[in-house]
Amino acid sequence: MFKMSKGRLHLTFPESNWKLSIGCTSMHYVTQDKQWKDENDEITSNNVELAVLDEKGEWRTKEIAYKVLGEVVEDDVLGYVTFNDWIKIISYLNTMPRDQRGILKNISAN
């Protein structure tokens, strides 16, 4: 499912019901060509900010960033994500094995 809300695109993956929230405004960790003022503005950027939430609405960005990109993230959002890394995360979430969903929480960014 796709949803737009306040400068963010939200993707809900049908198999897992996990959500990927993607932001690309001046309120997000991105590099953009101009300041975002309202929903009618057109903005371009070479990267996006994203957040991952599980089916219960719990933040899972840290675990996914570590599992997919090998990055240790201190925040619940991941900023300045390139197009290629964004595709890797989408691909992983779309094909994530059901048995991985429960154990991902055990992977921490220590």
Task: Name the token pair of 69.
Answer: 């990109």
Rounded to an integer, what distance in angstroms lies between the CA atom of residue 61 and that of residue 38? 27
Distances (CA, A) of 89 to 41, 58, 97: 27, 17, 14
Question: H/E element holding 103?
Answer: helix 98-103
pLDDT greater than 60 at residue 101: no
pLDDT of residue 79: 85
Distances (CA, A) of 59 to 23, 24, 39, 76, 80: 16, 19, 26, 6, 18
Closest CA to 29 of 11, 7, 13, 10: 7
Q: Which domain holds residue 82?
A: 2-106
pLDDT of residue 91: 94
pTM, entire model: 0.77
Q: Residue 38: what pLDDT?
A: 61
Helix (H) / strand (E) containing 110:
none
Q: What is the pLDDT of residues 20-74, one digit of tens each?
A: 998 876 767 677 655 555 666 676 778 888 999 999 999 999 999 999 999 999 9
Instruction: Give the percent of the chain with pLDDT over 90.
Output: 39
If one counts the domains in the chain, the total is 1
Indicate the pLDDT class of residue 108, thresholds 50, 70 and 90: very low
